[in-house]
Homo-oligomer: A and B are copies of this chain.
Amino acid sequence: MKRTIVIFGTISVVVILLFQVSKFSLMNTQGFSDVFLIISGILFIALGYFITKLFYARKHTNSIQEIDIKRIKELNISKQELKVLGLMSDGLSNNEIAETLFITENTVKSHVSKILSKLNAKRRTEAIKIGRDLNII
């Protein structure tokens, strides 16, 4: 929110300055109005470019969405459990996960069971879906 205010304030100032500069430039140098018009035009286009880019950048980061650490803590999911969940969503079997993490399959199974109960899922596929929806993976 603070950032929004700062950005809009800056943009407003820049816009006003641009208008003032281009107005006086045009009034004082009648013969070179072409050049100044082009320059101010380019500046305005650039301004539009940056404004638009700003909004799209914000949207973009929202739609890509990073891992929600807060929610992981809320769900009381541990580091190792999270790793297992990630590997599950990569399509690995319990045995493959065990080999990847250098632990036994039994241990993986106990991790998986805990993940399922914490995410309130009946199957690993459901856990994957829930994990994705919650931006945990």
Contacts and interface: CB of A to CB of B under 8 A. Distances in A.
Interface of A: 15, 18-19, 22-23, 26-27, 33-34, 37-38, 40-53, 56, 60, 63-64, 88-93, 121-130
Contacts of A49: 48-49, 51-52
Task: State the copy count for this chain.
Answer: 2
A9 B31 CA distance: 30
Contact of A48 (B18, B46, B127): B46
Contacts of A124: 125
B91 A121 contact: yes
Which of A26, A45, A129 has most chain B Cβ within 10 Å?
A: A45
A124 B89 CA distance: 10
